[in-house]
Amino acid sequence: MIFLRRLIFTIFILSCVTGSYAQEVKNKEPKEKKIKKKKKKSKKESSPKKEKTKKEPKEKKEKEPKAENEEGDDKNFGPIFDGASISVSAGVNIYYGDLSEYNLFPKFSEFNKSSNSAFKFSIAREIKWGLSAKLNYQTGKLEGTRKTGKNSSTISFENNFFNISLQPQLLISDVLFKKNDSRRLKIYANLGIGYMWYRSQQYDTRTLNTKDYEGYVEVEGTESQSQKVLSDKTAKAKTLTIPYGLSLVYKYNQKMDIHLDLTQSSTTTDRLDAFSRGWTAKDKYNYLGIGLTYNFNRTSADAPKKRSKKDNINKFNDESSNSPSATTSNSNLIPSTTKESKKGLFGKKNKKSSKEDELLNVRLKLFETQLKLFEMQYLLGK
């Protein structure tokens, strides 16, 4: 009987202690919050004017640069420049004609001999439905070398020209692929008409004697000589051109694009190389260049959009669910989008969960002490 009374008495005392400790832990936080609130109120009442004076200059400083940035990013040059752009590119010209030793493309080892530098300047404007128009100015040089027969000598030529053309172009990437706002690469197909002004000189590769020419006049007294002397005071030769090709445009940022230009120009003459045969096709040349494009009134809304991680996950989930070979094992590879509570060294726990954990730890420790006391009393009773 004595043992049971002692045991009941100790359990009663311990339960009272645990209850009072838990209430103290719960009541500490609201008291601390009340004290902090009182301190904040007293500070606000003591210095309201100072805060107002401090906030006003900050707001002004923050508003001014924002307005400047908005003007700088979304500059509007007027309705005339809506959809307008300027592009500059540099590349190489490749000649195709009677004096070219290749049919499709020159060999890599002979590329320097068959290609020449070129420059292109363009003004473009969007119209509607992916259709736009482009005005081009191109200048450059053409060269070629070939042995026209087994017993004939090797002939070379040089051609200096400039070309002006007008090309309507159509956005075909939206036709070939699904429309996507986050796609940066666009493909344009173009076809147009132009005019070419040029001077060409054909000569013997070994002796360098001039054999024929276009856009030049012979100096008097050299007509009977093997080495002809030419004067370029006469007007340049002219021909009609039909340019066609593709343009790959990569949207780099809000205003700037990077483009790759692949254009072939067919002419209505066989005298670009100052050499002609009755049974051969008309001369033509290719332009391969890379350049930059500046878009005038393009705003931040037209800037390239980045794909979010959620969009990529949803796309992956849709593809895996629609594919016939999708199995349950694929579900382990798909990352879950639900937010889980962070745990570990770098995870932040909620304040409520941490307080509950503290209370549980206290109760467990008190329960352990109760068991130890019970064991001691049992041993002493024996």
Looking at the predicted structure, is the pLDDT value of residue 24 above 70?
Answer: no
Looking at the predicted structure, is the pLDDT value of residue 108 above 90?
Answer: no
What is the pLDDT averaged over residues 94-103?
87
What is the pLDDT averaged over residues 49-55?
46
**Domain tally for the chain?**
1
What is the pLDDT averaged over residues 18-30?
55
Looking at the predicted structure, is the pLDDT value of residue 140 above 90?
Answer: yes
pLDDT-wise least confident of 198-202, 258-262, 308-312: 308-312
Query: Cα(105)–Cα(153) distance, rounded to whole angstroms?
Result: 24
Looking at the predicted structure, is the pLDDT value of residue 345 above 60?
Answer: no
Looking at the predicted structure, is the pLDDT value of residue 329 above 60?
Answer: no
Q: Average pLDDT over the chain, rounded to whole?
A: 77
Q: What is the pLDDT of residue 373?
A: 84
Give the phi and the psi of residue 239 in degrees, each rounded to 5.
-155, 155
Q: What is the pLDDT of residue 86?
A: 96
Q: What is the pLDDT of residue 68?
A: 40
Measured from the Cβ of residue 7, the count of other Cβ atoms closer than 10 Å reads 16
Q: Each residue of 273-310: pLDDT tens digit?
A: 988 887 788 999 999 999 999 999 888 777 767 666 55
What is the pLDDT averaged over residues 148-167?
89
Looking at the predicted structure, is the pLDDT value of residue 228 above 90?
Answer: no
What is the pLDDT averaged over residues 4-22?
60
Is residue 88 one of the residues assigned to a domain? yes
- Inter-residue contact 366 to 18 (CB < 8 Å): yes
Looking at the predicted structure, is the pLDDT value of residue 332 above 50?
Answer: no
Q: What is the pLDDT of residue 114?
A: 79
Q: Which helix (H) or strand (E) holds 79?
A: none
**Sorting pLDDT into bands at 50, 70 and 90, what band is 210?**
confident
Q: What is the pLDDT of residue 324?
A: 53
Looking at the predicted structure, is the pLDDT value of residue 85 above 80?
Answer: yes
Q: Each residue of 181-192: pLDDT tens digit?
A: 778 899 999 999
Please enumerate in sequence order all residues whose Cβ is within 8 A of that of 253, keeping only pairs 6 or more positions apart, or say none.
Answer: 303, 304
- Assign residue 273 the CATH number of its domain: 2.40.160.20
What is the pLDDT averaged over residues 236-249?
95
The highest-confidence range among 246-250, 281-285, 342-346, by mean pLDDT, is: 246-250
Instruction: Name the more confident of 329 and 379.
Output: 379
Instruction: Name the more confident of 109 and 40.
Output: 109
Is residue 277 one of the residues assigned to a domain? yes
Q: What is the pLDDT of residue 100?
A: 86
Is residue 329 one of the residues assigned to a domain? no
Q: What is the pLDDT of residue 120?
A: 97
Is residue 4 one of the residues assigned to a domain? no
Quick one: what percent of the chain has pLDDT higher than 70? 66
Rounded to two decimals, the pTM is 0.61
Nearest to 274, CA basis, from 137, 87, 98, 120 = 98
Is residue 347 one of the residues assigned to a domain? no
Quick one: what percent of the chain has pLDDT higher than 90? 31
Q: What is the pLDDT of residue 132?
A: 94
**Sorting pLDDT into bands at 50, 70 and 90, what band is 335?**
very low
Q: How remote is the C-alpha of 26 from its chain's centroid?
A: 56
Query: Cα(275)–Cα(339) distance, rounded to whole angstroms?
Result: 75
Instruction: Name the more confident of 272 and 64.
Output: 272
Burial of 330 (0-12, 13-18, 19+ CB in 10 A): middle
Looking at the predicted structure, is the pLDDT value of residue 148 above 90?
Answer: no
Is residue 106 one of the residues assigned to a domain? yes
**Sorting pLDDT into bands at 50, 70 and 90, what band is 336?**
very low
Task: Note down the domain range covering 267.
Answer: 84-147+158-194+241-297
Is residue 293 one of the residues assigned to a domain? yes
Is residue 220 one of the residues assigned to a domain? no
Query: Cα(250)–Cα(194) distance, rounded to whole angstroms?
Result: 26
Looking at the predicted structure, is the pLDDT value of residue 326 above 50?
Answer: no
